[in-house]
Chain A
Amino acid sequence: MSVLSVRDLRITYHTTAGGVPAVRGVDLEIDRGEVVGLAGESGCGKSTIAAAILRLLPAKTRIEGEISLNGEDVLEMKPGHLRTVRWTGASIIFQGAMHALNPVKRVGDQIAEAITTHHQAGEREALVRVGQLLEQVGLPPRRIADYPHELSGGQKQRVMIAMALACNPNLIIADEPTTALDVMVQAQVLALLKELQRELGLAMLFITHDLSVLVEVSDRLAIMYAGQIVEDGPAQDVFYRPAHPYTKALAGAFPEIGDQRFRRKPSGLGGDPPDPQRIPSGCPFHPRCPVAFDSCPTVEPRLFASGEGRRAACLLVEGALTGVRKDES
């Protein structure tokens, strides 16, 4: 059974200027011990999905579809149960989570609080567990008595990871967990996350705009554009042999050092990510697509199979597939 299963998720934000569709029909499946990377640019809806899984969206937001976490329907949960599930079922590590620590409380107490309120463990037990957690995330146990300002950015992010692990969730949602960190510290935190994930057999939804980070930590990759998944499949296949022109362009923004094809050839797309209130007709990517043809502005492509375990929402992929079939017959 999959840990997380999202079916035809549609999320519309409520604003004074009308509804803003942020997510427009997303399917997502994460199995036990699997890391799924969700990539896309700002405003593509990736963080909205993360927030929707734990029902952290503003009250007036319209959510349609189905989100099931460990077999339970998240959208139908009662508030009390939901609060428990937010720690024991799935927990989230935010972007800039370092600022989410309470500055006037010792970090050990903050982690222990999460355990005692949700895990029904005694205070003494909780402190033992905090010690274990700190060790797990590579912090010396004496840090238990430190205040957040005594820790560096990387150490605070480690505390946040410890907190996320506190109640033994089986899904971790990491929303841009390393974006605010420096290169070297980012690598340390990524390595730690990956190690913990392997060790504890966690399922993980890893969200970031940085495709090169995703390909490093993920088993599977899903690329989002304008509120939809436009391509998914095994991480390395998607990154190195993208089928969708948008994936291709996004991958090009993260060059391989030493590869002469990138040398002095910055690649990018014209135009800008679309305004969620004005999503282009047909394939939403067509105004920026370098290989768009006459059907693209009118036909909205669904996800076509583009290889083993791979799908891409591009009419050219469909064309290529039917071409292959003709050759075979």
Chain B
Amino acid sequence: MSAVDGTRSEGGVREPPVLELRELGVNFAGRVGLVAGLLGRKSVDARAVDGVDLSLHRGEVLALAGESGCGKTTTARAIMGLLKPDRGQILFEGRPLGRNLRDYRRRVQMVFQDPTGSLNPRQTIYEIVAEGLRIHHITRGPNGETEEQLVARALSRAGLRPPERFFLLYPHELSGGQRQRVVIAGALALDPEVIVADEPVSNLDASVRGEILRLLLKLRDELQISILIVTHDLGLAWTVADRVAVMYLGRIVEIGPADDVLTKPLHPYTKALLDVVPEAGGIDRPILQGEPPDPTRVPPGCRFHPRCPEVASGRTKTSGVDDECHAEDLGLAELQSGRFAACHLARLIATGRAGGDTPTEREPADGQEKNSVS
């Protein structure tokens, strides 16, 4: 299980990441109304993704979390080549992506949020799963399997057994969970190294979610597939992820092993996100006020400072980092082994210069025992 462990992302001699993002940036062109344009107003580009560094290792499950509009889905779409990044690089197995994405597109597959929409209603399950093989002109598997055998194997790996029974069905004849399995089977048919899953279970019924997540973990364990899960749900990250990256306004503000990030967050935003995870009797907890931020107006300094509870409470002032928070933009820094955060205050605390406390740690969960459900 060591390959599964979050600790493998710590230093030491190891193979290069399967997938790496360097300073990735994606802009969305702003729109100006006709009248405003004539009055000389310029369009403002939305910096949806604004300098993301991220690496995904072999057999790793990495969760990319954040509010809607933080750029997590845009990042996923850029990885899939569905959007052209404006800045930065995407490296696959250490090599930057060239113009020809054909081979890359076979080895990196995507699972979508809406399984119903992502299946063509006029295709049979067989055709849907075989589509990737046909696009890549794969008529035989590595061991001489026929297309039909490859499709059958992908379906049964995705938990649709016996696969032949599903060949001729149409998507509308399946349940939501089964449809998502078909999407996963379509990805598996190409024997990918990486699966990017964009909110893979948020459109599914609660009781079905666990099975799909279990399937993803199984694929990682058995086929060593690396999985990037984009989600707004930190509970989901806790259930499946080795590492968690938290995004805010187009940038990663904290990244590290899930066990640490989700229980002892370094960044105030991570803490705020954890605070709003619903829990019994937790309705009176502090909630970050205001609306999700607007990527056309990225504030100067630390981009979180206008909503930051540490700034609001004056704690940054007493620690003497308030000016930096308002003026100095900062990137991720390794504050503990394997743990990175972009926060002036956290940096100060990590170097031991703060007022001798570590209150960004989360209070231990209340005494309520939760049943075991596994």
The answer to whether A and B touch in the complex, with CB atoms under 8 Å apart, is yes
**Which of A42, A236, A246 contacts B280, CB < 8 Å?**
A236
Q: Do B206 and A248 touch across chains, with their CB atoms under 8 A apart?
A: no
Q: Do A269 and B262 touch across chains, with their CB atoms under 8 A apart?
A: no
Q: Do B217 and A257 touch across chains, with their CB atoms under 8 A apart?
A: no
> Is A294 an interface residue when CB atoms closer than 8 A count as contact?
no
Closest-CB distance, A193 to chain B (whole angstroms) = 9
Q: Choose, from A8-16, A77-85, A183-191, the stretch at the interface.
A: A183-191
**If the complex has contacts A266-B239, A272-B175, are A258 and B281 also in contact, measured as CB distance less than 8 A?**
no
Q: Do A258 and B365 touch across chains, with their CB atoms under 8 A apart?
A: yes
What mask results when residues 264 to 300 of chain A are scored 1 for a CB within 8 Å of chain B, else 0? 1111111011000000000000001000000000000
Of A190, A239, A258, A261, most B-chain CB atoms within 10 Å? A258
**If the complex has contacts A241-B371, A270-B211, are A263 and B238 also in contact, measured as CB distance less than 8 A?**
yes
Q: Do B274 and A257 touch across chains, with their CB atoms under 8 A apart?
A: yes
> Is B232 an interface residue when CB atoms closer than 8 A count as contact?
yes
Considering only residues 220-276 of chain B, those with a C-beta below 8 Å from chain A are 232-235, 238-240, 259, 262-263, 272-276
Q: Do B374 and A267 touch across chains, with their CB atoms under 8 A apart?
A: yes
Q: Do A253 and B371 touch across chains, with their CB atoms under 8 A apart?
A: no
Distance A187 CA – B214 CA, assembled complex (angstroms): 28
> Is A259 an interface residue when CB atoms closer than 8 A count as contact?
yes
Q: Do B208 and A258 touch across chains, with their CB atoms under 8 A apart?
A: no
Closest-CB distance, A307 to chain B (whole angstroms) = 13
**If the complex has contacts A183-B273, A188-B289, are A209 and B232 also in contact, measured as CB distance less than 8 A?**
no
Report the nearest A residue to B213, measured CB to CB.
A266
**If the complex has contacts A255-B239, A267-B373, A268-B213, are A188 and B283 also in contact, measured as CB distance less than 8 A?**
no
Chain A residues touching B, range: 35 or more
Distance A209 CA – B178 CA, assembled complex (angstroms): 19
> Is A322 an interface residue when CB atoms closer than 8 A count as contact?
no
**If the complex has contacts A266-B213, A268-B214, are A194 and B280 also in contact, measured as CB distance less than 8 A?**
no
Q: Do A253 and B177 touch across chains, with their CB atoms under 8 A apart?
A: no
Residues of B within 8 A of A249 (CB): 207, 210, 373
Residues of B within 8 A of A255 (CB): 235, 238-239
Residues of A within 8 A of B371 (CB): 240-242, 248, 251
> Is B292 an interface residue when CB atoms closer than 8 A count as contact?
yes
Q: Choose, from A20-28, A46-54, A122-130, A211-219, the stretch at the interface.
A: A211-219
Q: Do A273 and B287 touch across chains, with their CB atoms under 8 A apart?
A: no
Residues of A within 8 A of B291 (CB): 152, 154-155, 185
**If the complex has contacts A41-B206, A255-B239, A270-B211, are A240 and B232 also in contact, measured as CB distance less than 8 A?**
no
Closest-CB distance, A216 to chain B (whole angstroms) = 5
Closest-CB distance, A308 to chain B (whole angstroms) = 17
Residues of A within 8 A of B211 (CB): 266, 268-270
Which residue numbers of A lie inside 8 Å of B, CB to CB?
A: 41-42, 152, 154-155, 182-188, 190-191, 194, 209-213, 215-217, 235-236, 239-242, 246, 248-259, 261-270, 272-273, 288
Report 10 cross-chain contacts, Cβ distance below 8 Å, ordered by A residue.
Answer: A155-B291, A211-B206, A236-B368, A251-B373, A256-B235, A261-B374, A262-B374, A264-B4, A264-B239, A269-B207
Which residue numbers of B lie inside 8 Å of A, CB to CB?
A: 4, 67-69, 175-178, 205-214, 217, 232-235, 238-240, 259, 262-263, 272-284, 287-289, 291-292, 362, 364-365, 368-374
Given contacts A240-B280, A255-B235, 19 further A-B contacts (CB under 8 A): A152-B291, A182-B69, A187-B276, A191-B284, A209-B205, A249-B210, A251-B370, A251-B371, A252-B373, A257-B235, A257-B262, A257-B263, A257-B274, A257-B277, A266-B213, A266-B217, A266-B239, A267-B214, A272-B208
